[in-house]
Amino acid sequence: MTFLNSEGASSSSSSSSSSSSSSSSTRRWNFDVFLSFRGEDTREGFTSHLYKALCNKGINTFIDDKLHRGEGISKELIQVIQNSSILVIVFSENYANSIWCLEELAEIVECNEKDPEVQICPVFYNIDPSEIRNQKGNFGKSLAKHEKKLKNNKNKVQTWRDALRKAANASGWHYKKGCATYKSEFDFTQNIVEEIANAKVNWKQLYVVKYPVGINSCVEAIESLLDIRLDEFCVVGIRGLPGVGKTIIPKAVCNIIANCFDGSSFLENVRENLGIDAGIIKLQEQLLNDILGNGNWRVGSRFRGISLVNERLCRKKLFLILDDVDDSTRIENLLGKCNWFAPGSSHYNIKR
C-alpha cells in the first residue's frame, strides 16, 4: 500500500510496477456513442429505435441523419468518430455495398488501434457474423464489386477487408428474426442499451470543491503512481490532518482518469458503516449499483454481498474510493480478501 502525506510524498508501496502510457488519461468525450449504419437497411427501423432508446437512457449518442450520395466522409464526421467513447457498428445485409460505410468503418477501426480506450461494439442485425469475417454472401459480392471498380487502388479495398474482419471479431450483439435468444427486436434493442448504460458511459463526475492550496501536487503524485502501475492492482492510502483535502484528492484523480476504468465508486463513512451488518450491506449495494447500474441491487446479507461483489466485479478494472477507514483489515468484512480485483484496478483508503 502507498501512503501519501499532505505534501504529496509517497512513503511505501506493496504493488509491483510496470511502465505504461497515460496519454489518454485526461480524455474527454463529446459523445458517449457513435452509430455507424447502412441507411437504406435500418435508418427507418432498427437504428432509429436504438438511437431513441439510447437517448431516452441519457446516453449522448451521435447519429448522422444526412442521406449521403458521395463516397468520402467529411473531416467533421471523422472528428465526431474520434471524440466518441463507444463506436457501435450496425452490420446489415447491404452495409458493405456502401463505400461511405466502409470508409466510416475504416476510420472507426483506426481510432481503436490508435486508442484502445475507444470501444468497438458490432451489432449483427439479421446477418451472420461469419459472413462478415469470411466475407461471403452479400459482403463478398460487394467487396468484389469494389475491387473491380477500384482496380487501381486495391490497397483501399484491402483496408476495408481488414476493418470488416477486426470489427466482426469484436464482442457485440447478434439478432436474427425468429431467434430464441431474444423475445423480440424490442427486447434485443433494450439489451444493447442496458449493456451500454452499464459501461463507462454511466459514470458521472464526482463533485469536488475548489482545490485548496497544495492539492494539485498530491493529485499529480497519485497520477504518477497509477501511471507506473496501470496493469497492476494498486492500493493507495491517504492520511493527514482534518481539512487538508484527503477526500478531495482521490475524487479529483477519479474525475481525471475515470475513462481508463470500467467503473468507479466513492463509498463514504466506511468506518461507521463497517461497525454493523446493515452498514456493510448498504455499502455493498451502493458499490454494485455504482458499477453495474440500474439501482436495483439488493444483497440480503453481508456474506452474500461479498459473494456478489466477487462474482460480478472480478473481471472489471475498477477505481474504488473508501472514505474514512480506520483499520484496513476490516475492509475484508466489506469486500472479502480483495484478491478478485482485475489488473489495473485502483483502491483508495482515506484515513482520518
Point out the residues that are catalytic.
104
Residue with cell 476493418: 163
Please give the Cα distance from 328 to 215 (Å, whole number). 24
Q: Looking at this protein, which amino acid is placed at residue 39? A: G
Distances (CA, A) of 4 to 133, 144, 220, 278, 333: 50, 61, 11, 31, 25
Phi and psi at residue 128, in whole multiples of 5°? -80, 130
Contacts of 67 (CB under 8 A, 6+ apart): 39
Give the CA angle between residues 320, 321, 323 to the nearest 5°: 155
Supply 193's cell numbers: 442499451
Please give the Cα distance from 250 to 264 (Å, whole number). 11
The answer to whether 324 touches 272, Cβ cutoff 8 Å, is yes
